[in-house]
Amino acid sequence: MTTTTTFGTWNNRVQDGELTVEQSVYVALGDYADDYDLDAVAADYRAAINDALPSSVSLCGDEFIGPYYAEDRDFDGYPTDEDDRLDIKAIVEGIDFWAIAAEHDTTA
């Protein structure tokens, strides 16, 4: 059994000033938010984030959870930051948010 720990929150690892994925979706869409199915955009964005993360790490609510012990971490091929931690922000930035949003444009 693997012991898990928090790797940080959406706010402190990805989007400073925005507490939730849903808030980030709303802010990104700005004045055009009413033109999208916001719940669907957020759900698909969350799914894409979880697909992009290593299999042992997941976005649970607004918190990233992963293995506590280094020997349980297999992050080969994933970006790391200056402290040799998994660079979650870089992983999330690699996702095409706008392609996801376009799929849920209610005006198209």
Tens-digit pLDDT profile for residues 77-88: 999 888 888 999
| pTM as predicted | 0.94
What average pLDDT score do residues 65-71 get? 91
Of residues 47, 27, 26, 39, the one with CA closest to residue 104: 39
Q: Is residue 27 part of a domain?
A: yes
Domain count, the chain: 1
What average pLDDT score do residues 48-69 get? 96
Q: Is residue 108 part of a domain?
A: no
| 85 DSSP 8-state letter | S
Q: Is residue 86 part of a domain?
A: yes
Backbone angles phi, psi at 86, to 5 degrees: -55, 125
Q: What is the pLDDT of residue 29?
A: 97
Q: Is residue 88 part of a domain?
A: yes
Which range marks the domain in which residue 45 is found? 4-71+80-103
| 35 DSSP 8-state letter | G
Query: Is pLDDT at 1 greater than 80 in this prediction?
Result: no
Q: Is residue 62 part of a domain?
A: yes
63-67 vs 4-9, strand pairing mode:
antiparallel
Q: Is residue 92 part of a domain?
A: yes
